[in-house]
Amino acid sequence: MEQRIGFIGLGNMGNAILQGILASNIVSGTQMYVYDPHLEKGQVLNQVYSINNLDSAREVARESDIVFVAVKPNVIVDVLNDIQKELKKNTIVISIAAGVTIKTIAKCVGYEQKIIRVMPNTPALVNAAMCSITPNTEVTDEELSIVQQLLNCIGETEVVSEYLIDAVVGASGSSPAFVFMFIEALADGAVKGGLSRAQAYKFAAQAVMGSAKLLLESGKHPGELKDMVCSPAGTTIEGVHALEEKGFRSAIINAVEAAIKKSKEMAEG
């Protein structure tokens, strides 16, 4: 790939996406331009991968063909206003911010700028992200495909309409936190039953990962897969009943709904 790729913000997500792209070797370190106020983050990337560590977001915008703006939602408008003059006509601006609409981004960088909203998640750190991609009407199919290729370096991608991004936040953007809480709770239960803490995390995490893999690869309905585990008068159905008594599914639906609601509220300002 010939494009020069910029990163403004090297936090959890910016760094995860950058590392995934680097590991895939589809672009070299010298094609990448970064800025984060914590200059040491870029210095390490420069020393290890020869990435261009620049002194400002503006310089990154000036040098890049595709620029990932990976800062928190409360600072993104300032950053976009700041870089706006440095963008070329064909620069693709990618925002990963939750609750920041294409309209808000366009107000800062111009309605004719190419803009893509992406909603990733932290499993990007292990190349197992789920990313939604939403381009504005200025982005061509070819450009969309280039960005998709970049994001496929860190996991799976799906193109969705903008109105669905809030639901994506609930399903995959925020949900890793819910899953980690579930794994922690499974392990607590197993520690109560006598497993060491380290073994409990390994057994619980592997069970969650294996179950997700089985669902994705078998194409079976999750209810059918649940039934396969529940032997008549066995152990699992006891646990299923205990979860139902405590409103397990309802609690999770509520959590996803709360994340969606917050994402919508953020978008409304």
Ligand X SMILES: NC(=O)C1=CN([C@@H]2O[C@H](COP(=O)(O)OP(=O)(O)OC[C@H]3O[C@@H](n4cnc5c(N)ncnc54)[C@H](OP(=O)(O)O)[C@@H]3O)[C@@H](O)[C@H]2O)C=CC1
- Which residue ranges are tagged as binding site? 8-13, 70-73
| 98 touching ligand A1CAB, by CB under 6 A | yes
Q: How far is the CB of 164 from ligand A1CAB (least distance, A)?
A: 14
Q: How far is the CB of 218 from ligand X (least distance, A)?
A: 28
Separation of alpha carbons 208 and 181, rounded Å: 12
Adjacent-strand bridge partners of 8: 35, 69
Total residue count of the chain as it appears in this document: 269
Element (H, E) at 34: strand 32-35
Element (H, E) at 43: helix 39-49
Segment lying near ligand X (by CB under 6 A), choices 9-17, 136-144, 190-198, 199-207: 9-17
What is residue 245's three-state secondary structure?
helix
| 96 touching ligand X, by CB under 6 A | yes
What sign does the CA torsion over 78, 81, 82, 84 have?
positive
Q: How far is the CB of 5 from ligand A1CAB (least distance, A)?
A: 22
Cβ pair 87, 66 in contact under 8 A? no
| Interface mask toward ligand X for 30-49; x: CB under 6 A | -----xxxx-----------
Displacement of CA 107 from its chain's centroid (Å): 24
| 169 touching ligand A1CAB, by CB under 6 A | yes
In this structure, what token pair is assigned to residue 168?
């994506």
Shorter beta-carbon distance to ligand X: residue 27 or 71: 71
| Interface mask toward ligand X for 101-120; x: CB under 6 A | ------------------xx
Shorter beta-carbon distance to ligand A1CAB: residue 178 or 203: 178
What is residue 31's three-state secondary structure?
helix
Rounded to 5°, the CA angle 247-248-253 comes to: 95
Separation of alpha carbons 37 and 129, rounded Å: 26
Q: How far is the CB of 145 from ligand X (least distance, A)?
A: 22
| 15 touching ligand A1CAB, by CB under 6 A | no
| 9 touching ligand X, by CB under 6 A | yes
Q: Which residue is nearest to ligand X (CB)?
A: 11
Separation of alpha carbons 92 and 150, rounded Å: 13
Separation of alpha carbons 138 and 235, rounded Å: 56
Q: How far is the CB of 132 from ligand X (least distance, A)?
A: 10
Displacement of CA 224 from its chain's centroid (Å): 29
Segment lying near ligand A1CAB (by CB under 6 A), choices 130-138, 166-174, 185-193, 229-237: 166-174
Q: Which of 34, 98, 129, 267 binds ligand X (CB under 6 A)?
A: 98
Report the interface residues with ligand A1CAB, using CB under 6 A.
Answer: 98, 169, 173-174
Report the interface residues with ligand X, using CB under 6 A.
Answer: 8-14, 35-38, 57, 70-73, 75, 79, 96-98, 119-122, 173
